[in-house]
Structure 1
Amino acid sequence: MNIPLIRVQSACYTAEIFRSLDCDCHAQLAKSQRLIGDRGGYLIYMLCDGRGAGLLNKLRGMALGEKEGLDTSDAYRKLGLPQDPRSYERVSEVIKFFGFLNIKLLTNNPRKIEGLRGAGIEVEREPLEIDSTDESRSYLHTKAHKMGHLLIRV
């Protein structure tokens, strides 16, 4: 049996609806869709904007970042929010529903890998790096250096 290619994508309304360029979320979604279209696989979409903190908290963090010059990580900390409160329990249930216990996961986030491994799924990571732009460079730097994302081209 082939090991399926899977992308777990969290909603990012600012990028997906309003086309904000200060993150790589929309570009990751588009690249994942191309890879899955070409190679086969599955996209699991999580409705949990703001890394699970919710849209309102995300907007509060963005406003605080603008006002005080804070990055996403520091803004969430100042608001008393965890940097990434997402849980991957439901994702693991979806994956197991399809009978997959071994997957190739398109991700740069070690928390996703560990969340799925903790649920008994064997995970092989496939990097999903997007080249930074002038608008996204700061955000990607924060993801790599403060949140542990596995990024090489930052």
Structure 2
Amino acid sequence: MTGAKEVSTPLSPSVDLCADTSPSFDATMYRQAICRLQYLVITRPEISFAVNRLAQFMASPAEVHWQSVKRILRYLKGTVHYGLHFRGGPSGSLLDYSDSDWGGLHDGGRSTTAYVMFFGANVVSWRSAKQRFCVSIFYGS
């Protein structure tokens, strides 16, 4: 795919990925490509949705699925400088930071909770989310 044109997104929004009744594509080659892409997701999390979506068709891939795999490869060709970079270091410790805004007064009373987890100097997990809104009212007698 050295001469392939680069694309700006890993999946095309106009392609409907569903189980296709058309003739199957070579399942062995498709599975090999998906497995390699799943390994790459470790350092390229932005392709995880596309790769996991295409992995759902490993039993019986069609030509449309193979074209979508090739689109991911074309996306990767244009974004080789993207990714998570892991550095070695003397510390192999696991460090976790978390925070919450305890109520989000300006945002309807919902708290935002976040965490980031480091292994040595490398970020390995993170999340930020609004908590579900729950109100408990107790009426005493």
TM (normalized to structure 2)? Answer: 0.24
Which of the two has greater helix per residue? 1
Higher normalized contact order (CA 8 Å, seq sep 6+, divided by chain length): 1
Asked which structure has the greater CA Rg, the reply is: 2
